[in-house]
Chain A
Amino acid sequence: MIEVNQLTKLYGDLTAVDGLSFSVAPGEILGLVGPNGAGKTTTLTSLAGIIIPTSGTIRIGGHDIAREGVSAKSRLAFIPDEPHLFDYLTVEEHLRFVGRLYRVPDAPERIPPLLQELELTEKTKALPGELSRGMRQKLAIACGLIHSPTAVILDEPLTGLDPAGIRKMKSTISARARAGAAVILSSHLLHLVEELCTRLLVIKRGRVVALGTIAEIIAVRPELTGLGLEDVFLALTGEPGEALR
């Protein structure tokens, strides 16, 4: 369960996120979308405990990330768009390292099936420098999943993946949600969001523009009936009437 209440982040005079509130239940995949500069990355990095919000609370599995950071983070996986890997650890060593950090005593047993799931078995002994962009992304995802997180935050997870990798990744995300994880997925690929997400959070200039299933959003804005998600998105985030011009 991810619960966000009145999340606000200021950078000097700039309000990046302004009183954002939402929650993601176990098994749910929330799609976070918004135009460039809407505050998506600030929201995600706040949820991951990377930046400290100016005000508001974030709870992961019932633990306040500001007060109980270690407990909250141990239930969380943040998978950024660019894989952050250590140059001198092999694929397997990355997983052992993260297993120890997240206190996963059976990590050695979890590693082989995880590598198989992400098609990295043949690269067990490879360093990040010897991996393609897509494989590095898969390794970052494997590192995020080894401790079976109950909350998963993904920022453009398909960047750099080939079509087979994209299909695999979509099934991995769905499988984690089915296993009971609360998932937040941020992406500009609206068809991906439409395909995977159970609900949608649209933000603009740090504020919630729409929250709910597509049907719920259209119910609030009947003029959007019959439009595709792209047009709905543009109508919600652009100037009034932009999508319909």
Chain B
Amino acid sequence: MSEARAVFGVFAYLTTTSMRNRFRAKVKQLKNPRYSVALLFGVAYIWFFLFRPPGAGSARPNLFGSANIQLIASLGVFILFMRWWLFGNDRSALAFSPAEIQFLFPAPITRRALIQFKLLRSQIAIVFNAILWVLIFGRGGAELPAVLRVMSVWAMLSIFTLHRLGATIVRASTTQHGKAGARRNVVALIVFGAVAAGLIWTAITGYSSVRNASGIRQVTEAITTLLRQPVPHALLAPFRVLLAPTFANTIADWAPKFAIVVVGLALHYVWVLRTELAFEDAAVEASAARAKRIEAMKARRSGNAAPVRAGNRTWIPLAPSGHPAMAILWKNILALSRTSGSSMVGVMVIISTFVIMAVFISSQGRTGFASLLGYFALAMMGFSVLVGARFVRIDLRQDLVHLRLLRTYPIDGSALVAAEIAGSTIVLTAIQMGLLLFAHVALLSAPEVPLDPWSRWLIVAAAPLALLVFNAATVTIQNGAALLFPAWVKLGTAKSGGIEVLGQSLLTMAASLAALALALVPPAIAGGATFLAVTTVFDGTAIAGAAAGCAIGVLALGIEVAMAMMMLGEVFERGEMVGVPAP
């Protein structure tokens, strides 16, 4: 048996047995009825949205069939590649776990074998993601069989992974080789700089066509027309080729395009393997950095926290007296301000300034571009309302790894839970209000918006309270999941991987959305009844009825949230919390 086959066998054994044992550990948790019921709930939800047969007349979306989306996606892929080459300092692509370093690095195996191990590991997530992408974005409409679409997405994601790995290795290598290395990096700078310059020139020359468009459809058409011009078309050609089989509609169309991508995949594979000399140094460095973080994490019994530079510390005062719960909120806001950092604030300020300028300029002429930005902000706000609570995590999801410490504090459980939830709720509400205000200003002159400006101002004025309560509900659901199903929720800031983690994440997201839908039933009934009462019994106008209905709905949701916090406080104080990472 050749060395390569033997090594592959060892790695395959390590990967499959680790997966199997992790899966078994998860299955063991299902003995707890709480987890088994949640699993059934989540599976039913996922089936309903991803696998149920289409009903009569219901059209299924197939985003992979759209040429315009392919064109815009090629621009996105270019930006992704440029980021890896010019700004990429993410060494996680190279890092090995401490156990892998301990067993694999001193083992009598080649560097090439280590790279192959890394690639083998990444394939698990890639295959899973490819299936998921096709299930979500390309379920119907086209002739191309789903399995071929999955193969296309797999090849595309594999190239992404290889390219990112290769770019990281080259960048790491060039960093270590001083001026000589910097010269090699200049090549990437020139190539991507030239493409970016060509695209920016196209955007400047074609700006008026986008500005004069009105409505999202026309603006999209204007952008894709620009991208079809000879210069951007040629510059983005390699990225379009990469996406081509994924967006093919027939087998005849797909086969040659897929063959080209497979060749590209093979070339990438060879390229990454040829970086083997640079690989070990870069991998050791990246792994050492990761090991250091893990060591710090173990010592501190906390998450995989990035260090904060001494000069980069914000300060928020905390009065020495007052309700103890405020200390929890203060701690979480302080942590967020330090993790996001002043650089993030700076970027946001710059982007906001540019966006506001764009709105101002475009409002001098046609409203198309301003409307586009306004709708984009509204969409972002809607997205953050629905799923923002999954991403802003300065609450129990971050603190539950300190459960032992939190439980020693002389503070009522429900007060502590409320304080934990308050941090994420306030931050989410602030972000959404910013987006709403921006959208409101951008859409002030938009003729297609149904409500008059005065009514829109009223909505904006009432929004903070409604958003605060709604966000409290979504954050409470996320924190409830962390308290009730700690083994299924990512706690702390440590990253975890594996196919079942992806599935688990999907499951918890599905369960959270379903729980939100359930939580909204009583407020919807209360609000609807109020609307009917105001419009029929009291002969009020529809607007008055809607306002009263919304107010009662928000009140009902607020009561639900308060009750949920009390219940979770009890769970926090008295629950066994099996599944919380051992301190």
Chain B residue nearest in CB terms to A153? B408
Chain B CB within 8 A of A39 CB:
no
Task: Name the contact of B321 in the complex, choosing from A48, A52, A73, A105 (C-beta under 8 A).
Answer: A105
How many whole Å from B57's CB to the nearest CB in chain A?
Answer: 53
Complex CA–CA separation, A45 to B583 (angstroms):
12
Q: Is B68 an interface residue (CB 8 A)?
A: no
Q: B180: CB under 8 A from chain A?
A: no
B328 to chain A: which residues have CB within 8 Å?
101
B381 close to A (CB within 8 Å)? no
A74 contacts B296, CB within 8 Å?
no
- Interchain CB contact under 8 A, A80 and B318: no
Interface centre among A76, A83, A100 (most CB of B within 10 A): A100
Stretch from A17-25, A86-94, A231-239 contacting the other chain: A86-94
| Closest Cβ–Cβ distance, residue A188 to chain B (whole Å) | 18
B69 within 8 A of A: no
A82 touching B301, Cβ below 8 Å: yes
- Residues of B382-438 whose CB lies within 8 A of A: 402-405, 407-412
Is A100's CB under 8 angstroms from B321's CB? yes
Q: Judge if A179 is at the interface, Cβ distance under 8 Å.
A: no
Q: How far is the CA of A78 from the CA of B407 in the complex (A)?
A: 10
How many Å from the CB of A14 to the closest CB on chain B? 13
Return the contact of B408 from the options A48, A88, A96, A103 (Cβ within 8 A): A48
Contact of B320 among A50, A71, A89, A105 (CB under 8 A): A105
Q: Which of A87, A100, A128 contacts B318 (CB under 8 A)?
A: A100
Chain B residues with CB below 8 A from A78, complex form: 408
Task: List, in ascending order, chain B residues with CB within 8 A of A129's CB.
Answer: 296, 300, 305, 307-308
Task: Report yes or no: A136 in contact with B321, Cβ–Cβ below 8 A.
Answer: no
Stretch at the interface among B334-342, B460-468, B498-506, B538-546: B334-342
Asked if A88 and B318 make an inter-chain contact with CB atoms under 8 angstroms apart, the answer reads no
Q: Are A127 and B410 in contact (CB under 8 A)?
A: no
The chain B residue with its CB closest to the CB of A143 is B405
Contact present for A73 and B410 (CB under 8 Å): yes
Do residues A73 and B583 form an inter-chain contact, with CB atoms below 8 A?
no
Q: Looking across the interface, which residue of chain B has its beta carbon closest to that of A78?
A: B408
- Residues of A close to B573: CB separation below 8 A: 52, 69
Report the nearest A residue to B299, measured CB to CB. A133
Complex Cα–Cα for A148 and B405 (A):
18
The answer to whether A103 and B324 touch across the interface, beta carbons within 8 angstroms, is: yes
B95 CB-CB contact with A under 8 Å: no
Q: How far is the CB of A227 from chain B (nearest CB, A)?
A: 36
User: How many interface residues does A have (CB within 8 Å)?
Assistant: 45
State whether the Cβ of A215 lies closer than 8 Å to any Cβ in chain B.
no
A70: which B residues are within 8 A, CB to CB? Answer: 410-412
The answer on a CB contact under 8 Å between B410 and A97 is: no
**What are the residues of chain B within 8 A of A50 when measuring CB–CB?**
403-404, 407-408
- Which chain B residues lie closer than 8 Å to A71 at the CB level? 410
- Chain B positions within 8 Å of A113 at CB level: none
When C-beta atoms are compared, the residue in chain A nearest to B303 turns out to be A87
Q: From B299, B313, B321, B334, name the one whose CB has the most chain A CB atoms within 10 angstroms.
A: B299
Q: A73–B307 Cα gap in the complex (Å)?
A: 32
A51 to B303 alpha-carbon distance, docked (Å): 22
Q: Is B184 an interface residue, CB under 8 A from the partner?
A: no
CB-nearest residue of chain A to B413: A69
A107–B310 CA distance with the chains assembled, in angstroms: 24
Q: Bound state CA distance, A105 and B326, in angstroms?
A: 14
Q: Find the B residue at minimum CB distance from A105.
A: B321
Inter-chain contact total with CB atoms closer than 8 Å: 119
Given contacts A45-B404, A106-B320, A107-B320, contact A101 B411 (CB under 8 A): yes
Give the most central of A51, A104, A129: most B CB within 10 Å: A129
Tell me whether A85 and B302 are in contact (CB under 8 A): yes
Asked, given contacts A133-B299, A136-B300, whether A86 binds B404 with beta carbons under 8 Å apart, the answer is no
Q: Which of A72, A108, A127, A128 has the most CB of B within 10 A?
A: A127
Inter-chain contact B411/A82, CB cutoff 8 Å: no
Residue of B nearest to A77 (CB): B408
Shortest C-beta distance, B515 to chain A (Å), equals 26
Q: Give chain B interface residues in 282-333, CB to chain A under 8 Å.
A: 296, 299-303, 305, 307-308, 310, 313, 318-322, 324, 326-328, 330-331
- Bitwise, A43-66 to B at CB < 8 A (1) or not (0) is 001001111100000000000000
A99 within 8 A of B: yes
Q: How far is the CA of A104 from the CA of B320 in the complex (A)?
A: 7
Q: In the complex, what residues of B have CB within 8 A of residue A127's CB?
A: 307-308
Q: List the A side residues contacting B331 at CB < 8 Å.
A: 86, 89, 97
- Is A84 positioned at the interface, with any CB of B under 8 Å from its CB? yes
A22 to chain B, nearest CB (A): 20
- Is B52 positioned at the interface, with any CB of A under 8 Å from its CB? no
Most chain A CB atoms below 10 A, which of B300, B302, B328, B573: B300
Give the docked Cα–Cα distance between A105 and B318 (Å): 11
Whether B324 contacts A87 by the Cβ 8 Å rule is no
Residue of B nearest to A140 (CB): B405
A101: contacting residue among B301, B302, B327, B403, CB under 8 A: B327
Report the bound CA distance from A88 to B315 in whole Å: 11
Cα-based distance from A51 to B320 in the complex (angstroms) = 29
A93 and B334 contact, CB distance less than 8 A: yes
Q: Is B574 an interface residue (CB 8 A)?
A: yes
B residues less than 8 Å from A51 (CB atoms): 576
**Chain A, residue nearest B330 (CB):** A97
From A45, A87, A90, A97, name the one whose CB has the most chain B CB atoms within 10 angstroms.
A87
Asked, given contacts A45-B404, A88-B334, whether A80 binds B583 with beta carbons under 8 Å apart, the answer is: yes
The residues in A between 113 and 151 inclusive whose CB is less than 8 angstroms from any CB of B are 125, 127-130, 133, 136
Q: Nearest-CB distance from B410 to chain A (Å)?
A: 4
Is A84 within 8 A of B404, CB to CB?
yes
| Residues from chain B with Cβ under 8 Å of A107 in the complex | 320
| Residue among B299, B318, B403 making CB contact with A97, cutoff 8 Å | B318
Known contacts A49-B407, A82-B583, A101-B409, A88 near B300 by CB under 8 Å: no
The chain A residue with its CB closest to the CB of B297 is A87
Q: Within 8 Å CB of B308, what residues of A?
A: 88, 127, 129
For the complex formed, measure the closest distance between the CB of A158 and the CB atoms of chain B, giving whole angstroms: 16
**Which of A74, A90, A105, A106 is B313 in contact with, Cβ under 8 Å?**
A90
In whole angstroms, what is the CA distance A175 to B301 when docked?
29
> For the complex, what is the distance from the CA of A106 to the CA of B583, rounded to whole Å?
31
A101 pairs with B324, CB closer than 8 A:
yes
CA distance A213 to B335 in the complex (A): 47
List of B residues within 8 angstroms of A100 by Cβ? 318-322, 324, 326-327, 330
Q: Which 4 A/B pairs are nearest by Cβ-Cβ distance?
A: A74-B410, A73-B410, A100-B327, A87-B305
Q: Can you list 20 A-B pairs with a CB-CB distance of less than 8 A?
A: A45-B404, A48-B404, A50-B404, A50-B408, A82-B299, A84-B583, A86-B331, A87-B300, A87-B305, A87-B335, A93-B334, A96-B320, A97-B318, A97-B327, A97-B330, A100-B320, A105-B320, A105-B321, A125-B310, A129-B305
Query: 15 new A-B pairs (CB below 8 Å) besides A70-B410, A90-B313, A101-B410?
Result: A48-B408, A69-B573, A73-B409, A76-B408, A80-B583, A82-B301, A85-B301, A86-B302, A87-B303, A93-B334, A97-B318, A97-B327, A100-B320, A101-B327, A105-B321
What residues of chain B have their CB less than 8 Å away from a CB belonging to chain A? Answer: 296, 299-303, 305, 307-308, 310, 313, 318-322, 324, 326-328, 330-331, 334-335, 338-339, 402-405, 407-412, 573-574, 576, 583
